Chains A and B, each alone.
Chain A
Amino acid sequence: MQRETMEYDVVVVGAGPSGLAFAIRLKQLEPDTRVCVIEKASTVGAHILSGAVIEPAPLDALLPQWRDSPPPICVPAAHDEFLLLRDARRATRLPTPPQMHNAGNFIVSLGALCAWLAPQAEALGVDVFPGFAAADAVFDDNGAVAGVRIGDMGVAKDGSHKPGYTQGIDILAKLTVLAEGCRGSVSKTLIAKFGLDKDCDPQTYGIGLKELWQLPPGRVRAGHITHTVGWPLDHQTYGGSFIYQLDKDRIAIGLVAGLDYSDPLFRPWEAFQQLKHHARIQPLLEGGSIISAGARALIEGGIQSLPKLEMPGAILIGDAAGLMNVPKIKGTHQAIRSGMLAAEHYAERHAGTGFDARLRASNIAKELRKVRNIRPGFHGGLWRGLANAAWETVTVGRSPWTLKNHADWSSLDKLDPPATKANRPGPNATSPREPGWIERTLPPRDRLAGVYFAATEHDEDQPVHLHVLDTDICVDRCTIEYGNPCTRYCPASVYEMVEDLQEDGSKALRLQINSANCVHCKTCDIKDPYENITWVTPEGGSGPNYQNL
């Protein structure tokens, strides 16, 4: 059967800050250009998760009147605090690094910000289609990207068609703008197909976990910003936490851990739960309730891992490209700027050609170049990382060297029974007998309870959207070499090793994929030590339903 098609001048994949900024800017410049934005979440913002403190300058440039009717959560930054957590009780105040000063910035919910941007794009004539997932790119006869294919709806787990089966259409466009965010599935395929990353370092990532809390009245100081490093992460693991105090007695709290961590027994979700029980933090949360919670991978490779941003028929923007400024812990301003720059480029050329050079010559790349050595400096641990960061900050990135990045999947140590768990404090402790164990009293009790706060939903009768290429590796090699780390880094308990009773009475291990729990964070696609897992889009509209994350 011939697929239905729709034609646009430009199709944007992903209704995040970069994609929406692109669409808005392009319509401002060329009102007659036909632009659509497709989004896999059931509603715009439902798959967006970020801290987030943002720099407002790009928003001022995009929508000069935005301060007159700001997004629903938008609290001016008031006070910055930077703490070193030495253990579960002690905290030492450190000088706030200059990149982390937030005067003039705003604490927002990026999800709410995108939900607020989408109608403004629509008012300019952009067609925004939430609930439709890009399954693949489509190509023309010359091999150039010619648009995207929307995933089919109503396919059963076994691949057969259910009564409501609806074939996805092809959206054809002169330019496809990939704005999928960190580790986008179509972007990943196209980066590989066109070899866009052959001249840059491997990309590196982090995992961010976040909860939004409603607290008893009077406790929250709106605009107060706290960042921490140290406990519960060991000094070899890059990362830290954020606590942003919002309005209406709400706070956002989260933990980010670099996915170049080496301990296969590390459990990021549990580390986050430990963090909440620090003596300085627990009293803040006690008696409150969780509004929403979730997880998302973030992109940390910077300029040395930035792939080529154009290919025939398509370009990469925002975190699909990888523009986050890690020392600032901000990417939204970069995403919006890259979307606007791409729109200006298209308005001039009506093609993506030359966008890569243009972005590399822009302030967006300049900002990344300045801080390029800070994140990789933490490969040597927290102390060397902080010392290196101070040097790079003082010299404004003028060091004649550029530190290398390494692929996150390759960074895990193999299991070494006598050396592991017992030596590692905190997050890996699974019982009170182990060092670093903290009795947890705050919700959620476990990862499944956490999934409940993500309100994630997938029709169970659809093909599994986490493709494990070789499940024998899980049992034959991974169990022995790494102890199945997928069961630990996945924040939603998607991966489980279960024992099946065989006919002869023996037991055999098997990987069970609970794909309905998935919160679309993409960590498994990044961190699996054998690069054995591929994340693809499930039915459009599936996935988490984040509320103001």
Chain B
Amino acid sequence: MKILVAYKRVVDYNVRIQVKPDGSGVVTDGVKLSPNPFDDIALEEALRLREKGIAEEVIIATIAPADAQAHLRNGLAMGANRAIHVVTPDAVQPLVAARALLKLIEKEQPGLVILGKQAIDDDCSQTGQMLAALWDRPQATFASKLEVSGDKATVTREVDAGLETIEVDLPAVVTTDLRLNEPRFIKLPDIMKAKAKKIDTIELASLGIEHAGEIKTTHYAPPAKRSRGVMVKDVAELVGLLKQKGLV
């Protein structure tokens, strides 16, 4: 079985996000970019399935500008067999991402597709679900446990009420939650090995995907600044001020 892992590049979770002064986006110059943490979990799960002998090949795919090769090398160093780079200078929205991934699925015929439940930059949490619908295959989202046997996968999902366990027929789409696993550390010799692994490059424009119905972002703005607090002497003054502001 082949496993396809969607592997997005995002602004690192430690970076303080800053809106550009002209409101056209967030600052990415000189900012550390990393794999989406949920996608790292997806890749780790795929690697574990390969190590158990359930999968033979793990392929990572990203839809990103031309400079994302180092990002894919990172996933290859972690252990993926090969990578597919769908090149586009622009950020893509979930529907376009799902359509592009579907094209890759048609070519690669994976038995399982694992994605992060969401990317930490736009927090959409839509690509996996859209992909399953377009592909017309089962989906198991927010997975915290994944077991594969034969042509079925048993998935424990994190839902509002607690945990839900479902069984899906393969091929299927699984999206990962935080507790599924803890991704491994990359070892130096594996970085060297990754340099010899294959990255296939495809232009997004060449896939023949419809761009219709896209969401337009008009501008970005940081959250409003909190106004300065005031120190009060006693409860009476506090109550007085609250009344004055019409809050009690």
Show the binding face of A for B, using Cβ within 8 Å: 4, 6, 42-43, 45-46, 72-73, 109, 111-112, 115, 127, 129, 131-132, 150, 153-154, 163-164, 166, 169, 171, 214, 217, 248-249, 289, 291-292, 452-453, 455, 457, 545, 547-548
Q: How many residues of B contact A (CB 8 A)?
A: 21
Chain B residues contacting A453 (CB-CB under 8 Å) are 16
Chain B residues contacting A132 (CB-CB under 8 Å) are 188
A72 touches B185 (CB 8 A): no
What is the distance, in angstroms, from A81's C-beta to the closest C-beta of chain B?
26
What is the distance, in angstroms, from A121's C-beta to the closest C-beta of chain B?
14
Cβ of B203 within 8 Å of any chain A Cβ, yes or no, is: no
Closest to A539 in B: B185
A166 touches B30 (CB 8 A): no
Cβ of B57 within 8 Å of any chain A Cβ, yes or no, is: no
A214 touches B21 (CB 8 A): yes
What is the distance, in angstroms, from A201's C-beta to the closest C-beta of chain B?
38
Query: Are A291 and B18 CB-contacts (below 8 A) given A42-B32, A72-B29, A112-B30?
Result: yes
B187 touches A457 (CB 8 A): no
Chain A residues contacting B185 (CB-CB under 8 Å) are 153-154, 164, 166
A548 touches B191 (CB 8 A): no
Query: Are A249 and B182 CB-contacts (below 8 A) given A4-B189, A112-B30, A545-B32?
Result: no
What is the distance, in angstroms, from B140's C-beta to the closest C-beta of chain A?
24
What is the distance, in angstroms, from A395's C-beta to the closest C-beta of chain B?
43
Chain B residues contacting A547 (CB-CB under 8 Å) are 15-16, 30-32
Chain B residues contacting A164 (CB-CB under 8 Å) are 182-185
Q: Which of A163, A169, A292, A545 contacts B188 (CB 8 A)?
A: A169
Chain A residues contacting B16 (CB-CB under 8 Å) are 292, 452-453, 455, 547
Cβ of B169 within 8 Å of any chain A Cβ, yes or no, is: no
What is the distance, in angstroms, from A439's C-beta to the closest C-beta of chain B?
12
Known: A45-B30, A129-B188. 7 other contacts (CB 8 A): A6-B189, A166-B187, A169-B187, A249-B21, A291-B27, A545-B12, A548-B29
What is the distance, in angstroms, from A413's C-beta to the closest C-beta of chain B?
36
Q: List 20 A-B contacts (CB under 8 A).
A: A4-B187, A6-B189, A42-B12, A42-B14, A43-B12, A43-B32, A45-B30, A46-B32, A115-B30, A164-B183, A164-B185, A166-B184, A217-B21, A249-B21, A291-B18, A452-B16, A457-B14, A545-B14, A547-B32, A548-B30
Query: Are A163 and B182 CB-contacts (below 8 A) given A72-B29, A129-B191?
Result: yes
Q: Which of A112, A217, A455 contacts B15 (CB 8 A)?
A: A455
Chain B residues contacting A153 (CB-CB under 8 Å) are 185
Chain B residues contacting A115 (CB-CB under 8 Å) are 30
Closest to B44 in A: A164
B189 touches A169 (CB 8 A): yes
What is the distance, in angstroms, from A547's C-beta to the closest C-beta of chain B?
6
Chain B residues contacting A4 (CB-CB under 8 Å) are 187, 189
Measured in the bound complex, the distance between the Cα atoms of B11 and A455 in whole Å is 13
Chain A residues contacting B184 (CB-CB under 8 Å) are 164, 166
Chain A residues contacting B221 (CB-CB under 8 Å) are none
Cβ of B192 within 8 Å of any chain A Cβ, yes or no, is: yes
Query: Are A127 and B192 CB-contacts (below 8 A) given A164-B182, A455-B16?
Result: yes
The 10 closest A-B pairs by CB, nearest first: A153-B185, A166-B185, A548-B30, A43-B32, A457-B14, A545-B14, A455-B14, A112-B30, A169-B188, A547-B30
What is the distance, in angstroms, from B79's C-beta to the closest C-beta of chain A?
13
What is the distance, in angstroms, from B182's C-beta to the closest C-beta of chain A?
6
Measured in the bound complex, the distance between the Cα atoms of B191 and A43 in whole Å is 15
Closest to A115 in B: B30
What is the distance, in angstroms, from A461's C-beta to the closest C-beta of chain B?
11
Q: Identify which of residues 140-184 in chain B touch chain A, using a CB-to-CB cut-off of 8 Å.
A: 182-184
Measured in the bound complex, the distance between the Cα atoms of B182 and A150 in whole Å is 21
Chain B residues contacting A166 (CB-CB under 8 Å) are 184-185, 187
Measured in the bound complex, the distance between the Cα atoms of B184 and A150 in whole Å is 16
Chain A residues contacting B186 (CB-CB under 8 Å) are 131
Chain A residues contacting B30 (CB-CB under 8 Å) are 45, 72-73, 109, 111-112, 115, 547-548
Chain B residues contacting A291 (CB-CB under 8 Å) are 18, 27
